[in-house]
Amino acid sequence: MMFEKAVTVNLLCPSVSRQNELGNLYTGEKTMKRDTQNIAIQCCATLRRPHRGRLVPLIAFALMALPSRAHASFLHGETLDAVAGAIAWFAFIIVPPVLIVAFLAVHILPEKVAEKRHHPQLGGIKCLCFLSLVFGGLLWPIAWLWAYSKPVFHKMAYGTDVDHSHDQTVGEKSAASELEQLRARVAELEAEIKRGKA
């Protein structure tokens, strides 16, 4: 009967070695009782220790979950009203124009890229950028891709994929040549005046 108790205690406490179990078989009943009691005490002591460690985080969490006084703002009274008014004015007056300017600046980027790359279809890209503004930016990625694309059909038709016609228009060329002619004529007249005085 004592052996059965020792076996059940051994099953509950796996820390007892097999050698202690065999030693209890050959000793008297008194030592067997004492060993069984010692084993039971050791098992209970080892089983209680981990539970204490598990309860500490649970208790800490319960203490943190207890309600406490909450403060919504570090400002009070008139100061809170003044700061809220300033934030409202900033949100309603400053932010919308900044967002509108940023929206417009982003939507003219394909046009600027096309001008820089001398894209022959600059007019179409400008038109698509404007339509993108009207349709809320849905066409903007298409304009962006079009600005960076190489116009294959233009190269087949004209022999080049770059258009230099929008660098200087015909009116600007004629104005520049006319200005040079006028400067040359003024220089001639000044030379004649100097000869006449001399």
What is the DSSP code string of 39-77?
HHHHHHHHHHHHHHHHHHHHHHHHHHHS-----S-S--T
Same domain, 156 and 179: no
Same domain, 112 and 142: yes
Same domain, 112 and 139: yes
Same domain, 105 and 162: yes
pLDDT score, position 7: 47
Q: Is residue 70 part of a domain?
A: no
Q: Is residue 79 part of a domain?
A: no
pLDDT score, position 130: 92
Same domain, 157 and 187: no
Q: Is residue 147 part of a domain?
A: yes
Residues above pLDDT 90, as percent of the chain: 24
Q: Is residue 152 part of a domain?
A: yes
Alpha helical stretches, state H, the chain: 2-12, 18-26, 29-65, 78-89, 95-107, 109-116, 122-134, 140-148, 152-158, 170-197
Distance CA 121, CA 158 (A): 13
Residue 148 belongs to domain spanning: 96-167
Same domain, 46 and 106: no
Q: Is residue 153 part of a domain?
A: yes
Q: How many domains does the chain have?
A: 3
DSSP 90: I
Q: Which residues of the chain are modeled with pLDDT < 70? A: 1-53, 70-72, 154-161, 164-173, 198
pLDDT score, position 95: 93
Listed residues 64, 83, 110: the one ending a domain: 64
Distance CA 196, CA 157 (A): 59
Listed residues 42, 64, 86: the one ending a domain: 64
Q: Does pTM surpass 0.85? A: no
Question: What is the distance between the terminal CA atoms of the chain, rounded to a whole angstrom?
Answer: 149
Report the sign of the C-alpha dihedral through residues 143, 147, 151, 157, in that order.
Answer: positive
Rounded alpha-carbon distances, angstroms, from residue 47 to 7, 15, 21, 50, 66 = 18, 11, 20, 6, 30
pLDDT score, position 10: 47
Q: Is residue 187 part of a domain?
A: yes
Which structure tokens are listed for 109?
A: 């980027």
Q: Is residue 81 part of a domain?
A: no
pLDDT score, position 43: 57
Same domain, 162 and 144: yes
pLDDT score, position 179: 86
Q: Is residue 140 part of a domain?
A: yes
pLDDT score, position 44: 55
Same domain, 149 and 108: yes
Same domain, 187 and 154: no
Same domain, 148 and 177: no
Which structure tokens are listed for 116?
A: 């820089």
Same domain, 151 and 177: no
Name the phi and psi angles at 16, rounded to 5.
Answer: -75, 135
122 three-state secondary structure: helix
